[in-house]
Homo-oligomer: A and B are copies of this chain.
Amino acid sequence: MKVITGIKKMQLWNKGVRKKGETIGFVPTMGYLHQGHLSLMRRAKKENDRLVVSIFVNPTQFGPGEDFKRYPRNFKRDQRLSRACGADVIFHPQAKKMYPPDFKTYVEVGKLGERLCGRSRPGHFRGVTTIVNKLFNIVQPDTAYFGQKDAQQAIIISRMAQDLNLPLKIKVLPIVREKDGLAMSSRNTYLSADARKNAIILYKSLQTAVGMIQSGYNSPREIIFKMREMINSKPGAKIDYIKIVDARTLKEVKRLEGRLLIAVAVYFNKTRLIDNKVVQSYKRKKNGLYRRR
């Protein structure tokens, strides 16, 4: 396994690989790898001749006052884990090479980036789409793998790839959870023992919401009310948002119809956790039966 820090070097490496007719799977990460990342890497390695993992804590997707500086880093451990998953290259560029002083270009997906997490984190998704676009141009993968944990990010990146005709496939893989249901996240390391225990409530509230939808509850308000109640029962939990949105447009729905994304963001002290579930809702027909939309 190679560690490549130079942008041109990375592009040269790909050129060589493509010349041999080999395919490249790509997993972009901010490092501090967990089982979620590893599931992406294993799948990417299985489906491609070569696996490139990028490790780069991207400054442009952090707002002022966010955790850019203290974001957890452990490059040695990341190297070991990547190697174990069969990575051929870790691309690990320097921020000053990715964003030289005269850097000016950004990629934006409009409204999609202003909803949900975009409301609490203005500019975040502009940072994400820009860095992912850059990484795609540098790594030139055949397929790139993202986690459903960052549901909005996955939707936005898929949108960008389609709109800009990027010559690659995007695959989004399921959330990997701890045994008790907490979604894996590099930020879980910030949690105190108490907060760690209480944080399960995100998953539990999502399960409850899915149950309510499947048993015929029809009002997003009622479901969100219930979720809010559950989360607020945990000391130290501060809700950022609880939303039920159309899984494609991310617009809030008034009726539970079609493919829905239930998304939550909750602070425990300064640590902001997110989680989500996608659910296919059924529509109640006049005769009292449900039908699939």
Contacts and interface: CB of A to CB of B under 8 A. Distances in A.
Interface of A: 7, 11, 18-19, 21, 102-112, 129-130, 133-134, 137-138, 140, 159-160, 163-167
B166 A137 contact: yes
B110 A107 contact: no
A105 B137 contact: no
A76 to B, nearest CB: 27
Contact of A107 (B19, B106, B112): B106
Name the residue in A102, A107, A129, A166 with the highest tally of chain B Cβ atoms < 10 Å from its Cβ: A107
Given A19-B21, A130-B164, 20 more contacts: A7-B165, A11-B167, A18-B18, A103-B163, A104-B111, A104-B163, A105-B107, A105-B109, A105-B110, A105-B159, A105-B160, A107-B108, A108-B108, A133-B164, A134-B163, A137-B165, A137-B166, A137-B167, A138-B165, A140-B167
A98 to B, nearest CB: 8
Contacts of A102: 159
A60 B141 CA distance: 29
A105 B129 contact: yes
A262 B1 CA distance: 52
B104 A159 contact: yes
A-B residue pairs, 5 tightest by C-beta: A105-B163, A137-B165, A104-B110, A105-B160, A138-B165
27 contacts: A7-B165, A11-B165, A11-B167, A18-B18, A104-B109, A104-B110, A104-B112, A104-B159, A104-B163, A105-B110, A105-B129, A105-B160, A105-B163, A105-B164, A106-B110, A107-B107, A107-B108, A107-B164, A108-B108, A130-B164, A133-B164, A134-B164, A137-B165, A137-B166, A137-B167, A138-B167, A140-B167
A160 B130 CA distance: 11
A89 to B, nearest CB: 16
Q: How many copies does the complex hold?
A: 2
A170 to B, nearest CB: 13
Contacts of A163: 103-105, 134
Given A133-B164, A167-B137, A105 B108 contact: yes
Contacts of A107: 105-108, 164
Nearest to A111: B104
A167 B138 CA distance: 7
A14 to B, nearest CB: 8
A165 B164 CA distance: 15
The CB with the most chain B CB atoms within 10 A, among A21, A102, A140, A164, is that of: A164
Contacts of A167: 11, 137-138, 140
Interface centre among A19, A102, A129 (most CB of B within 10 A): A102
Most buried by B among A11, A108, A138, A160: A108
A18 B7 CA distance: 21
